[in-house]
Amino acid sequence: MPDERHIEVRRTARYWTLGNIGREVTDVWFVCHGYGQLAGDFIREFEPIVSPTRLIVAPEGLSRFYSVSATGFHGAETPVGATWMTREDREHEIADYIAYLDALYDEFFEQIDRSRATVTVLGFSQGGATANRWVTRGKSRADRLIMWGSLLASDSDLNAAARFFEKVELCIVYGTRDQFAETGMIAGFESLLQKNSIPYRLVTFEGGHRMDRETLRAIAG
């Protein structure tokens, strides 16, 4: 019988930034892209909210793949996407990306005074579950979690979440035509949050499963 085993290895992770890193920064956003996206593309959605005091950091999922189903050789023009995890060996993948995001957080707050800064973590689609697990399981401290086109991770401990979100603002954003967020599902999720005394803010916009710049501006302030 084959035995499944694991070994920790060192690897290089990629991330992108918008804004300047310095003592004047008082608002830091970590933004996690959705399935099949790349951080360099995703971070462009946040260009409208960049300011001299706001820094945007977009980490990229550790696993990349050619995002086409056609067989054959892949070349320079073949689209590439990234994913945070799959169901395969999921607990190790989750532990790996939490450690990665904690290390990234530490790198920035060696240069920025955390006591003067507000930290927002935003996750879009698959990145929502990633952001949720990171801020609740990792060592990093966030002031606000924005779940955009996403709900709390299915493996969340809702009793623990009720206590956690007393101190961390939870904001849920979705488009009214989001094919992955039917009205009944959202209503059921709201009922679940209320039943478990989890405080939250709900924001909607006209549109599908995507970011919306006007809504983003309004939330960013």
Higher pLDDT, 214 or 180: 214
8 Å CB contact between 108 and 19:
no
pLDDT of residue 72: 67
Higher pLDDT, 160 or 38: 38
pLDDT of residue 205: 96
Average pLDDT over residues 74-83: 84
Residue 44: name the closest of 36, 33, 28 by CA.
Answer: 33
The C-alpha angle 95, 100, 105, rounded to 5 degrees, equals 125
8 Å CB contact between 16 and 58:
yes
Delimit the domains of the chain by residue range: 15-220
Q: How high is the mean pLDDT of the chain? A: 93
8 Å CB contact between 18 and 46:
yes
CA 201 from centre of chain: 17
- What residues form DSSP beta bridges with 81? 65
For the domain made up of 15-220, the CATH class stated in words is alpha beta
Average pLDDT over residues 70-90: 84
Q: What are 156-212's pLDDT values in tens digits?
A: 888 888 899 999 999 999 999 998 877 677 888 889 899 989 999 999 999 999 999
The confidence band for 77, taking pLDDT boundaries of 50, 70 and 90, is confident
Average pLDDT over residues 84-97: 95
Average pLDDT over residues 6-30: 94
Residue with tokens 């990145």: 127
Indicate whether 70 pLDDT > 70.
no
Q: What are 127-167's pLDDT values in tens digits?
A: 999 999 999 999 999 999 999 999 888 888 888 888 999 99
Give the predicted TM-score (pTM) of the model.
0.93
